[in-house]
Structure 1
Amino acid sequence: MSSGPTFSFATTADDVATVFVDEIKGKNVLVTGTSLKSIGFETARVIAKYANSVIISGYNAERFKSPFSRLRKKSHKRTIYALVLDLSSFASVRKAAAEINAQPEPLHVLINNAAASFVDFKLTEDGLETQLATDHVGPFLFTRLLTPKLLASATPAYTPRVVFVSSAAQAIGTGVDFDALENPDPAEYSKPLAYGQAKSANCLTAIDLPKRSKGKINAYSLHPGVIFTNVYEKENSIPTLQSIGTLDENKEAAAGIPFKTLPQGAATTIAAAFDPRLNDQPGAFLDNSTVANDQLAPHSSDPAKAEKLWNVTEKIIGESFVF
């Protein structure tokens, strides 16, 4: 990256936002997955200090009443919207996107943060495996439907952004299994492999979106770090987290694993959304709030795989992007 502020493992979301406050001011931002004790909520909390408006979302209206209330109290009278969005359901995604598109304001930044992590095999109402549906296909459709809203924020000096919160898990396995994506099979299902595939798909989508839009939209993916979020408290997730070595036998953080705090975990998302030094690096992967393309596995950075994934996912959702 060009000269300017330097960030590290210990950098917090507030640290990054303070540096880029002028970039955040006046922006309208949507963050998916904003339950309490989540990276998404911390991201929205910090952005709401300076942005024109922030839209938060969750799949259960009752569940995010508390985050919404807390955010409004901390937002210095800026506009906060709450959006019901279940990314595992095409119908819910379409309804939520229609609600946003009905608003008069443009959308400057879309942060695809929400994810289903290490869940049991289950088919969605659209016939997809839940983890890949929630983490990749749903955000892909949501981005497609909000593209006009994003393009409406563009000016000669500003290019709208889409951020995909991926993970170092993008390196797990051999990448997206296209057969499993289109024809999920419970006999072949593995929680960590499906998670890795979804996170690889995030990276590939971020690489292809700027190309497909011919530079009209910039996109980035990132590893937020290992953070003790609410995922670590879910009984169904704990055995998998123990098997991959992030939790010990006592369900506590495993020794030797460098965990970040929530403020540290949200830092890279805010850098991806607002660091102007990324303008000439569309599709970049970030870690510790800095470009880290060298950390991408070959299957998560292959342009041919990115193109194939895009085409297959458009087929699944039944429509194409229009820029």
Structure 2
Amino acid sequence: MDDKTLQVGFVGLGMMGTPMSRNLARAGVGLRVYDADADRTRTVASELGVAGVVDPAELAACDVIVTMLPTSAIVRSVFLNGDGALRIPLRQGTVVVDMSSSDPTETVATGRALAAFGVRLVDAPVSGGVPRAADGTLAIMMGADDEDAAALAERVVEPMSRSVYRTGGLGTGDAMKALNNFVAGAAFAATSEALIAGRQFGLDPQLMIDILNDSTGQSFSSTHVFGPHVVAEKYASGFSLPLITKDIRIARDLQRGMGRDAPVCEAVASSFEDALDALGGVDHTAAHRFWSGETR
């Protein structure tokens, strides 16, 4: 089977899923797309010139099904009923590639349930945000227990990625993604705290960002997020506060489950949870406004 004859289903056409599916369409695979929002499915399918399906069961003929969804519980619900039976009549040998930011323990459990039906699960969460989803340069962290499944998954994700890191067994990609987003969240929270203190002391916020980006305090957040979204007060990075909080909680719970003392992760999770409780489903950059006292 070459890449042009691969039949690929893509589930989840949100901020990340739509540009990711666009890159798959450009690669020329046989693509079917699905979203719980039927209007979104029709719009994206029409834009890409691919098949849009109204029922996930229509993906049963696909060789590979990619998911890009908010939580691992939702990923599981696409494929399995509450009693563990298959919701979609998948063929034995089908590969499911979950590119969501999922809970690694839930991913392992879902993988075991699917394996009972001969379906192979690969976790392949991504990093890079909407801009890198659009230009096909995402960093992908891939965990798998089945080498053949991983090899097929790698062929499918290649048009969406700049680099694929094989992290180990099933669930390790999700663990790496959660830990990465904890580090990113910590950098965002620390940069916010510094900007709030600096502004109070009389420093110009944009000048502070310029200096951080030319100094040892530089991070992805300071380089790509703070100037256009915090200093400019746009708060529209495309990554929501509920999602980053979820990922940091996963990292915290992972460390708790291993019996580790993780004071930094605990503090970062608490800070984001406080902002989420106050602000709800806003862009994650708006947490800066809450921490600065603007929204209280």
Q: Same fold (TM over 0.5)?
A: no
Q: Which has the higher helix share?
A: 2
Is the radius of gyration larger for structure 1 or structure 2?
2
Shorter chain as denominator, the TM-score bin is: 0.3 to 0.5
Higher RCO (Cα < 8 Å, 6 or more apart): 1
Q: TM-score, normalised by structure 1?
A: 0.33
Q: TM-score, normalised by structure 2?
A: 0.36
